[in-house]
Chains A and B, each alone.
Chain A
Amino acid sequence: KAGVTQTPRYLIKTRGQQVTLSCSPISGHRSVSWYQQTPGQGLQFLFEYFSETQRNKGNFPGRFSGRQFSNSRSEMNVSTLELGDSALYLCASSSWGSTGGYEQYFGPGTRLTVT
């Protein structure tokens, strides 16, 4: 099976602009989660989508939004970019694995730099 893919891999934007990131989960996985990773804050949960519905949301401002399509592909959007939004944005597709546990498979991430 192909892994999780994310596009673009790198992005440079200017403060005030908006950005859309894309994620394609592993085939057959219906759950997609988004995380923001920064050196000082670790992996911070943004939101999770399952079958086109947002199931959970982290503690991020409304400038961060997302959606999921019928083919399970997901996008996240950040409007009115701030310098502090510079981070690695990771997408993970999830399943209940053979271990009986909740296993998350991460994409390579999108490195967003806001100048």
Chain B
Amino acid sequence: GQSLEQPSEVTAVEGAIVQINCTYQTSGFYGLSWYQQHDGGAPTFLSYNALDGLEETGRFSSFLSRSDSYGYLLLQELQMKDSASYFCAVYNTNAGKSTFGDGTTLTVKP
């Protein structure tokens, strides 16, 4: 089967840096994605990693280590609007579908 683990909650202050970790167990791993979901909203695609290393998109970066079955989402210069839930997801080529983690609720405080 497939499973993903990520912390349920993270709190940080405005302007700080926060890292949200995700470990996964899956066969047929193809890539790790991250999604952001604001309260009452739909998940929106943030980033994707298929290869080891860091991918940077503005204030957000995502890292993957396939040998460790581990990835993280790094958010820099936190803003209040970054308060949301963040989901990691793996795409499994054997199953032909994505499996999502349970999500990490990020609270940014002033």
Contacts and interface: CB of A to CB of B under 8 A. Distances in A.
Given A43-B43, A90-B43, A108-B42, A102 B87 contact: no
Contact of A102 (B33, B43, B103): B33
B48 A45 contact: no
B41 interface: yes
A22 B101 CA distance: 25
Given A35-B100, A90-B42, 18 more contacts: A4-B42, A42-B101, A42-B102, A43-B87, A43-B100, A45-B97, A45-B98, A48-B96, A56-B96, A99-B47, A100-B50, A101-B31, A104-B45, A104-B89, A105-B45, A106-B35, A108-B41, A109-B42
A103 B97 contact: no
B32 to A, nearest CB: 9
Chain B binding surface, main DSSP class? strand
Given A33-B97, A48-B97, A109-B42, A101 B103 contact: no
Interface residues of A, number: 25
Nearest to A43: B100
A25 interface: no
Contacts of B42: 4, 90, 106-109
Interface of A: 4, 33, 35, 41-43, 45, 48, 55-56, 58, 90, 92, 97, 99-109
A102 B100 CA distance: 13
Contacts of A4: 42
B48 to A, nearest CB: 3
Contact of A101 (B41, B50, B100): B50
B66 to A, nearest CB: 14
